[in-house]
Amino acid sequence: MKIGLISDTHGLLRPEALAALQGCEHIVHAGDIGKPEILDALRSLAPLTVVRGNNDEGLDWATELPHQATLQLGSVGLYVVHELAHVPAQLPEGIRVVVTGHSHKPLIEERDGHLWINPGSAGPRRFKLPISVARLHIEESSAHAELVMLAV
């Protein structure tokens, strides 16, 4: 199973990001969406799980979005929240993968028995950070991820 991970679009959904997410069976947006049309475009590719980011606060269309989400994809549990600081010290039972955004810094790291992923920012460039998304590959009970740097 291939899962697309995207974050920090800030109102800009690049065609390169859409192309990188083609063929995913599920997509996760880790917040700072910017415009509801971005969610519509992502939903046209695959089922979507989305959390609200700090820049989505106060936007009428985003008030119904959760601050965090827990989901099961295949046999792997995921916990999604925008800011790393908001990950609870004790993760819910069955979580293998933690997906965050906010920093715009792409990261894949195995730590404390969990796979931590920040897909980076797929929206406007911040400082000299790359523009990226990530893909999570779930095979039976194992999970591994890859970063996809977007040529923009």
Q: Cα separations (Å) of 59 from 7, 8, 41, 43?
A: 17, 15, 19, 20
**pLDDT given for residue 126 in this prediction:** 87
Give the residue numbers spanning the domain of 68.
2-149
- What is the rounded average pLDDT of the residues 86-100? 96
Residue 1: DSSP 8-state: -
Tokens of 45: 């590719």
Q: Could you count the other beta carbons within 10 Å of the beta carbon of residue 37?
A: 12
3-state secondary structure of 3: strand
pTM: 0.96
**pLDDT given for residue 90 in this prediction:** 93
- How far separated are the first and last CA of the chain, in Å rounded? 27
Number of compact structural domains in the chain: 1
**pLDDT given for residue 47 in this prediction:** 98
CATH number of the domain at 21, please: 3.60.21.10
pLDDT (tens digit, 9 = 90+) per residue, 47-66?
Answer: 999 999 999 999 999 999 99
pLDDT (tens digit, 9 = 90+) per residue, 101-134?
Answer: 999 999 999 998 999 999 999 999 988 899 999 9
